[in-house]
Amino acid sequence: MTTLTTREFPRLETERLILREMTLNDKGDIFKNFSDENVTTYFYMKPFATVEESENIIKRAKTLFEQENGIQWGIVLKDGNTLIGTCGYETWIKENFRGELGYDLRRSYWGKGIMSEALKAVIQFGFDEMELNRIEVTTRSDNMRSINMLYRLGFQKEGVIREAVYWEGKFYDQILFSLLKKEWITD
């Protein structure tokens, strides 16, 4: 199986984006994303109140990579150096050739195809470099932007995980999606 710690953090490029390692210099940009309750509501968390809270996301991503448990990229537009989101494998179960995707994007960039573009590169990396056979995503059942994007990327709905999350006095359903390597069609 592939090991990632013997090499540098992989940098991915698409037509409009650079996917790169996050650094502490990105904490202000991450704060902008996670201080918006329209973004954090889908993560069942309160918006960040301080920039320092952003450091935990950066530290977690670094630890994931170092321990070979996952890999999380910062998303940057090629025409700037502002981090506008993150995406990657929050879980990597090597013995089962399986990874779980997670992603977030600053609200002002929603609806522009940016996350689809980023995830195409991340999915390809997962199948080619991490030797994944299966990629999973769970998303809140009312997150229609995410659901529609997953269908466009070729993911299949496997089912509803009923009342899987309890947040602020209410139960929420999660939907489980998956994509198998043999189903992946590249452009």
11-47 per-position pLDDT tens digit: 999 999 999 999 999 999 999 999 999 999 888 999 9
Is this prediction's pTM over 0.85? yes
Question: pLDDT at residue 138 above 70?
Answer: yes
Percentage of the chain surpassing pLDDT 90? 90
Q: What is the pLDDT of residue 2?
A: 59
> 143 is written with which tokens?
């997150």
Question: What digits encode the pLDDT tens for the residues 85-132?
Answer: 999 999 999 999 999 999 999 999 999 999 999 999 999 999 999 999
Q: Which spans in 15-113 are helix H?
A: 27-34, 37-40, 54-66
What is the reported pLDDT for 3? 62
> From CA 131, how far away is CA 165, in angstroms rounded?
30
Structural tokens at position 87: 């995406």
pLDDT at position 7: 74
Q: Please report the pLDDT score of residue 115 as a whole number.
A: 98
Give residue 120's pLDDT.
Answer: 98
User: Per residue in 42-88, pLDDT tens?
Assistant: 889 999 999 999 999 999 999 999 999 999 999 999 988 899 999 99
Domains of the chain: 12-183 (3.40.630.30)
Residue in 104, 111, 91, 135 with CA at minimum distance from that of residue 33: 104
